[in-house]
Chains A and B, each alone.
Chain A
Amino acid sequence: MDLGLIIYALNLAAIYSLMAIGISILWSSVGMINMAHGATFAVSGYAAWLATAAMKPIIATTFGNGALASFVMAGTLTSASLVAGALCGAIIYALAFLPIHDKPNYPVRSLIITLALNIGTVQGLLWFFGPRSQGLPKIFGFGRWEVWGTKIRYDQAGTIIGATIIMALTLAWLRYSRRGLEVRAMMQNAEGAAYSGISRQVTALPVLMLTGALAGMAAALLSQTIFVSPTSGVIPLLKGLTIALLGGLGSVPGAVIGALLIGFLEAIIGAVPFLGQRYVMFGTFIFIICVLIIRPRGIGGLLDDTRE
């Protein structure tokens, strides 16, 4: 296995884990499978595109053409997609959580509502922006490093580093802040959390905004490699969901390990001459099915040595 393959795998794993962590945290704390995660992804991509298109002339006149200008551009792009993702989370909270969270069958209802939101948003984007994909400015610049004879593109390195930083920040927030403690308590025992005075209505909003922002970050990073289009959220949603399942819905380390496994698996299957790219989906799903047959609780079940 050469270094290029590892970088490619890590690149995939970074995007997938951002999506999978969001879905996983949301399911275990709020009890909602968020099918609108793909729509959040696409909307954040478009928000970043609109913001950078609007800011381009302003940045060009104020900062010129140097390194500072591209740094400001990078800030605009990521903050636009983060804010758009968080706003999408707030909208999902208002539409798919608040009205139904104390009704019977809430998980199924919220699944259906978020699925409807997903389809509606994608169609809305298609209607408004058209099916053409849009290219975003390259915030990491063009070019590549040579490391031991392998070429690493800037956007690949930037994606891996950016995703790692965001994930570290999220985990630190979960671990050290009071709100994070509430979220973790809710993930582990909803009833105990209620008896500790932790309200699901109140805590669901920051959780949805956080997971939306994670999807937004994934969109900002993936926009560096591929174009933004209305349906660009479908594959990340699918991969995020299946990896969250593989990681054992609710286990953050499980989701990260699952994303790494799937990233490497896809890179390897794509590189094997007689398999190639068209067998990537096939191979990963076979792998996930096999893992779930042997370990129904996913990878998180292997990591968990405590008992209920």
Chain B
Amino acid sequence: MPEILEITQLSAGYGPLRVLHEIDLTIKSGERIGLVGLNGHGKSTLVRAITHMTGWQQGSIKLDGIEIGGSRSLGAGRRTPSLVKKGIGVAPQGDAIFPGLSVRKHLECGAYTKQAWKHRKTRIDRVFDIFPPLRSLEHSLVGKLSGGERRMVSIGRMLMTEAKLYLVDEPSLGLAPKISHRVMEALWALPVEGAMIIAEQNVKLLSDRADRIIGMHAGRLRGDVGHVELT
């Protein structure tokens, strides 16, 4: 299977703080990776480093064979839109929603490629099929929705185009167990042609479903345990 993501010697951080220490990680096409670790050990920073959202970073990141990494000490987020256009879909931690836009407009924002913009109606319908509760909320402002609905909108925005790599940061953060289960079920049910990384603290939500579970501790990857089933 071809490698979708190939990270070598990636370090990243914010100002004087170094969060990631020379990370190596390879993800093959079709894999769903669970990234687990405690708060503050670098799960989100890894997700942000792949999209150039950290303060600085160095090291190679290859997306489908194309180099997207490199050294950088300024310009957080400057390359993010072009990386997203190259095929990285992101559902960031804390959702990063647009509170004053309706659900439909919000999803349209995700349709950034020409192809996706042309087919945005069918794509929005597809997101509504994945997250049925959103259908009746189509015209309500996202800022008035509940936490679970916002998470669905955020993930739905990520799904508006075909990406090679989906990055989902803490899909269960701040949600009631029942709702977080529903969100996770929807994520697992997605037909993924590329790869998906789910950063998550709750190992139980990943057990039995993720192809590989990788631990993170103090900015380093610890243990690549493969398929895990907790009872």
Tell whether A pairs with B: yes
Interface residues as binary, A189-229 with B (CB distance below 8 Å gives 1, 0 otherwise): 11111111111111000000000000000000000000000
Contact: A196 with B110, CB < 8 Å? Answer: yes
Contact: A188 with B74, CB < 8 Å? Answer: no
B81, B99, B144: the one within 8 Å of A198 (CB)? B81
Interface residues as binary, B44-82 with A (CB distance below 8 Å gives 1, 0 otherwise): 000000010100000000000000000000111110111
Q: Determine the chain A residues whose CB is within 8 A of the CB of B85 once the complex forms.
A: 197
Contact: B96 with A102, CB < 8 Å? Answer: no
Considering residues A102, A104, A195, A305, which has the most beta carbons from chain B within 10 angstroms of its beta carbon?
A195
Contact: A306 with B109, CB < 8 Å? Answer: no
Given contacts A194-B77, A199-B82, A308-B99, contact A182 B109 (CB under 8 A): yes
Considering residues B51, B90, B158, which has the most beta carbons from chain A within 10 angstroms of its beta carbon?
B90
Contact: A196 with B78, CB < 8 Å? Answer: no
- 8 Å CB interface, B67-123 against A: 74-78, 80-82, 84-85, 90, 92, 95-101, 105, 108-110, 112-113, 117
User: How far is A196 from B108 in the complex, measured between Cα atoms in Å?
Assistant: 9
Q: Determine the chain B residues whose CB is within 8 A of the CB of A306 once the complex forms.
A: 99-100, 141-144
Contact: B98 with A197, CB < 8 Å? Answer: no
Is B164 in the interface zone, CB < 8 Å from A? no
- A196, closest chain B residue (CB): B109
Contact: B84 with A196, CB < 8 Å? Answer: yes
Interface residues as binary, B124-166 with A (CB distance below 8 Å gives 1, 0 otherwise): 0000000000000000011110000000000001100000000
Is A178 in the interface zone, CB < 8 Å from B? yes
User: How far is A306 from B112 in the complex, measured between Cα atoms in Å?
Assistant: 25
Interface residues as binary, A163-199 with B (CB distance below 8 Å gives 1, 0 otherwise): 0000000000000001001101100111111111111
User: How far is A102 from B75 in the complex, measured between Cα atoms in Å?
Assistant: 4
Is A132 in the interface zone, CB < 8 Å from B? no
Q: Determine the chain B residues whose CB is within 8 A of the CB of A304 once the complex forms.
A: 99-100, 143
User: How far is A182 from B111 in the complex, measured between Cα atoms in Å?
Assistant: 11
Considering residues A184, A185, A189, A194, which has the most beta carbons from chain B within 10 angstroms of its beta carbon?
A194
Contact: B97 with A189, CB < 8 Å? Answer: yes
User: How far is A249 from B144 in the complex, measured between Cα atoms in Å?
Assistant: 21
Contact: B96 with A195, CB < 8 Å? Answer: yes
Q: Determine the chain A residues whose CB is within 8 A of the CB of B143 once the complex forms.
A: 304-308
Is A103 in the interface zone, CB < 8 Å from B? yes
Q: Determine the chain B residues whose CB is within 8 A of the CB of A202 once the complex forms.
A: 81
A101, A194, A200, A307: the one within 8 Å of B53 (CB)? A194
User: How far is A304 from B101 in the complex, measured between Cα atoms in Å?
Assistant: 12
Contact: A195 with B100, CB < 8 Å? Answer: no
Q: Determine the chain A residues whose CB is within 8 A of the CB of B96 once the complex forms.
A: 189, 191-192, 195
Jot down 23 A-B pairs with beta carbons below 8 A, ordered by A: A102-B74, A102-B76, A104-B74, A181-B101, A181-B108, A188-B99, A188-B101, A189-B98, A189-B99, A191-B77, A191-B92, A191-B96, A193-B98, A194-B84, A195-B157, A196-B110, A198-B81, A199-B81, A199-B82, A305-B143, A306-B100, A306-B142, A308-B99
Chain B residues with CB under 8 Å of chain A are: 51, 53, 74-78, 80-82, 84-85, 90, 92, 95-101, 105, 108-110, 112-113, 117, 141-144, 157-158
The 5 closest A-B pairs by CB, nearest first: A306-B143, A197-B112, A192-B96, A102-B75, A199-B81
Chain A residues with CB under 8 Å of chain B are: 101-104, 178, 181-182, 184-185, 188-202, 304-308
Given contacts A184-B101, A191-B53, A195-B158, 14 further A-B contacts (CB under 8 A): A104-B74, A185-B101, A189-B96, A189-B98, A192-B97, A193-B109, A194-B53, A195-B84, A196-B110, A199-B82, A200-B78, A305-B143, A305-B144, A308-B99
